[in-house]
Amino acid sequence: MLEVRFNQQISMDARGRVTVPSRLKAALDYNRIHSIVFIVHQDRLRGYTPKDFSGRVEAPLMGNDAFDPYEDEKQLLRLGSATELDIDTQGRFV
Give all strands of the β-sheet with 44-48 in edge-to-edge order. 44-48, 35-41, 83-86
The mean pLDDT of 1-5, rounded to a whole number, is: 72
pLDDT tens-digit series, residues 13-42? 899 898 888 888 888 899 999 999 988 877
Select the highest-mean-pLDDT range: 23-32, 59-68, 69-78.
23-32
- Comparing 2 with 88, which gets the higher pLDDT? 88
> Sorting pLDDT into bands at 50, 70 and 90, what band is 80?
confident
Which residues in 3-15 are b (16+ Cβ under 10 Å) and which e? eeeeeeeeeeeee
Stated pTM of the model = 0.74
